[in-house]
A and B are shown apart, each in its own frame.
Chain A
Amino acid sequence: MSTQLTLQAPLDVPPAEVYPYLDRLWNHGLEGTTGAATFTLLIWEPSWLEQQMVRIGRIEGPIRGLERDDLIEAARLITADCDLPFSTAPMDPRLAWKVGQLEGQLEAQDLRGQFIPNAISVHTPRRLITLVPTLDASQSLETMVAAYCPLPDEGGAGAACGDAIVLRGGMEALRQGLPLIQPLIDEALPCWVWWNSSLDEPPEMLEALAPLPRRLVIDTSLGQPARCLDVLVERIEAGQAVNDLNWLRLRSWRESLAMVFDPPSRRDALAHVVQLDIDVEGDHPVKGLLLTAWMADRLGWHLIDSSPAEEPGGINAEFQRTDGTTVRFRQMPVPVGLPKAHPGAIVGLRLICEPADRPALCVILCSESGGCMRLESGGMAAMELVEEVVPLPEENEEMEMARLLGGGHDTTNPLLASAAPLAATILPR
Chain B
Amino acid sequence: MTTLLTNPLRVGLRQERVITPQCIVIFGASGDLTHRKLVPALFELFRQRRLPSEFAVLGCARRPWSDEEFRSKMGEALANEIADHPSAWEQFSQGLFYEPVDLQQADHLVRLGQRLEGIDRLRATRGNRTFYLSVSPEFYGSGCRALAAAGLLADAERSRVVIEKPFGRDYGSAQQLNKVVQACAKESQVFRIDHYLGKETVQNILVMRFANTIFEPIWNRNYIANVQITAAETVGVEDRAGYYESSGALRDMVQNHLTQILALTAMEPPGRFDAEAIRNEKAKVLQAARLANEDEPWKCCVRGQYSSGGSRARPLSGYRQEPGVNANSTTETYVAMKLFINNWRWQGVPFYLRTGKRLPKRLSEVVLTFRQAPVHLFDAAGGAPTPNQLILRIQPDEGAEIKFEVKAPGSGMRSRPVDMGFSYDDSFGEPSDEGYVRLLADAMLGDPTLYTRSDEVEAAWRLYTPLLELIEESPWQLPVHPYEARTWGPAAADSLLGDDGLGWRRP
Chain A residues near B (Cβ < 8 Å): 37, 188, 254-255, 257-258, 261-265, 267-268, 270, 295, 298-299, 355, 358, 406-411, 413-415
Per the bound structure, the CA–CA distance linking A350 and B53 in Å amounts to 40
User: In B1-52, which residues have CB < 8 Å from any A CB?
Assistant: 1-5, 7-13, 15-20, 49, 52
Per the bound structure, the CA–CA distance linking A40 and B53 in Å amounts to 19
A254-B9 in contact (CB<8A): yes
Q: Closest CB-CB distance, B130 to chain A, in whole Å?
A: 16
A258-B426 in contact (CB<8A): no
Complex interface: chain A residues within 8 A of B52 (CB): 408, 410
A267-B13 in contact (CB<8A): no
B12-A261 in contact (CB<8A): no
User: Closest residue of chain A to B425, judged by CB?
Assistant: A264
Chain B residues near A (Cβ < 8 Å): 1-5, 7-13, 15-20, 49, 52-53, 126, 425-430
User: Closest residue of chain A to B14, judged by CB?
Assistant: A255
Complex interface: chain A residues within 8 A of B9 (CB): 254, 257-258, 261, 270, 295, 298-299
Q: Supply 16 further A-B pairs (C-beta < 8 A) apart from A37-B126, A268-B3, A408-B20.
A: A188-B126, A262-B430, A263-B426, A263-B427, A267-B2, A267-B7, A270-B8, A270-B9, A298-B11, A299-B8, A407-B18, A409-B15, A409-B49, A410-B52, A414-B12, A415-B12
Per the bound structure, the CA–CA distance linking A270 and B425 in Å amounts to 18
Given contacts A407-B16, A407-B17, A408-B17, contact A262 B10 (CB under 8 A): yes
A267-B5 in contact (CB<8A): yes
- A258: contacting residue among B2, B4, B13, B16, CB under 8 A: B13
B13-A254 in contact (CB<8A): yes
B3-A267 in contact (CB<8A): yes
Residue from A37, A268, A355 whose CB has the most chain B CB atoms within 10 Å: A37
Per the bound structure, the CA–CA distance linking A81 and B457 in Å amounts to 66
Q: Closest CB-CB distance, A260 to chain B, in whole Å?
A: 8
Interface of A: prevailing SS: helix
Per the bound structure, the CA–CA distance linking A263 and B9 in Å amounts to 12
Complex interface: chain A residues within 8 A of B18 (CB): 407-410
Per the bound structure, the CA–CA distance linking A411 and B15 in Å amounts to 12
Q: Closest CB-CB distance, A164 to chain B, in whole Å?
A: 21
Complex interface: chain A residues within 8 A of B2 (CB): 264-265, 267-268
Per the bound structure, the CA–CA distance linking A409 and B428 in Å amounts to 26
Per the bound structure, the CA–CA distance linking A409 and B20 in Å amounts to 10
Per the bound structure, the CA–CA distance linking A295 and B8 in Å amounts to 9
Complex interface: chain B residues within 8 A of A299 (CB): 8-9
Complex interface: chain A residues within 8 A of B10 (CB): 258, 261-262
Complex interface: chain A residues within 8 A of B20 (CB): 408
Complex interface: chain A residues within 8 A of B1 (CB): 268, 355, 358
Residue from A257, A262, A264, A414 whose CB has the most chain B CB atoms within 10 Å: A264
User: Closest residue of chain B to A358, judged by CB?
Assistant: B1
Per the bound structure, the CA–CA distance linking A270 and B19 in Å amounts to 34
Q: Closest CB-CB distance, B2 to chain A, in whole Å?
A: 5
16 A-B residue pairings within 8 Å (CB atoms): A254-B9, A254-B13, A258-B9, A263-B426, A263-B427, A264-B425, A264-B429, A265-B2, A270-B9, A298-B8, A299-B9, A407-B15, A407-B18, A409-B18, A410-B18, A414-B12
Per the bound structure, the CA–CA distance linking A410 and B11 in Å amounts to 19
Per the bound structure, the CA–CA distance linking A345 and B428 in Å amounts to 28
Per the bound structure, the CA–CA distance linking A410 and B50 in Å amounts to 10
User: Closest residue of chain A to B430, judged by CB?
Assistant: A262
Complex interface: chain B residues within 8 A of A264 (CB): 2-4, 425-426, 429
Q: Closest CB-CB distance, B141 to chain A, in whole Å?
A: 30
Per the bound structure, the CA–CA distance linking A32 and B489 in Å amounts to 61
Complex interface: chain B residues within 8 A of A267 (CB): 2-3, 5, 7, 429
Complex interface: chain A residues within 8 A of B4 (CB): 264
Complex interface: chain A residues within 8 A of B12 (CB): 413-415
